[in-house]
């Protein structure tokens, strides 16, 4: 089985790879954060990004990170029409804050010996660190594809080819 994770899904995917390591033949990170063992996502972010995430969680009555049109327009999908940005924003759901605050304490996929691939969109401005830095955590160079952070919606053929050929 191949696991593919995008963006924040790098964290749960790493946990799933650990739990299912006997069934997983490959892990594909697509514009995804690659966790550092024992460090939460907030702790792994640069200080300004960590402060933004903590502020959003603290300001939310449900202690979640709410998706907004401004978030989609400024970070996720700068290269598409407003109607598409609005559609994506409307489909997103709030993410529980503890997802960002709790550390993942499992071996990396590299330590587990699971082959990995890191795919990065050329105009991805959503990651808190350069995608090449996340790829380097796996000992990899990123495979580049066109698009922004949500390139799987705007360039699905190129992303699918990178996943299948990687």
Three-class SS string for 13-27?
A: HHHHHHHCCCCCCEE
DSSP state of 105: -
What's the total number of domains in the chain?
1
Count of CA atoms in the C-beta half-sphere (13 A) of 139:
8
CA angle, residues 76, 40, 4, in degrees to nearest 5:
50
Q: What pLDDT, on a 0 to 100 scale, did the predictor assign at position 109?
A: 92
Q: What pLDDT, on a 0 to 100 scale, did the predictor assign at position 128?
A: 87
Q: What pLDDT, on a 0 to 100 scale, did the predictor assign at position 48?
A: 87
Q: Which residue range forms the structural domain that includes residue 134?
A: 2-165
pLDDT tens profile 103-149: 989 999 999 999 999 999 999 988 888 999 999 999 999 999 999 89
Q: How far apart are CA 96 and CA 101, in angstroms?
A: 9
Mean pLDDT taken over the chain: 91
Q: Which CATH number does the domain housing residue 84 bear?
A: 3.40.50.1820
């Amino acid at each position: 089985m191949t696991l593919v994770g995008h963006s924040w899904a790098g964290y749960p995917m790493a946990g799933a790879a650990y739990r299912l390591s006997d069934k997983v033949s490959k892990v594909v990170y697509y514009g995804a954060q690659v966790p550092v063992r024992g460090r939460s996502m907030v702790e792994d972010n640069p200080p300004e990004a960590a402060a933004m995430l903590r502020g959003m969680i603290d300001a939310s009555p449900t202690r979640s990170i709410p998706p907004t049109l401004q978030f989609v327009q400024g970070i996720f999908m700068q290269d598409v029409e407003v109607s598409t940005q609005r559609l994506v924003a409307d489909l997103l759901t709030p993410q529980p804050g503890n997802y960002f605050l709790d550390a993942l304490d499992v071996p990396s996929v590299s330590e587990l010996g699971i082959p990995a691939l890191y795919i990065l969109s050329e105009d991805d401005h959503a990651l808190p660190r350069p995608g090449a830095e996340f790829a380097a955590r796996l000992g990899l160079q990123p495979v580049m594809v066109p698009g922004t952070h949500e390139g799987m919606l705007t360039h699905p053929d190129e992303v699918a080819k990178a996943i299948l050929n990687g």
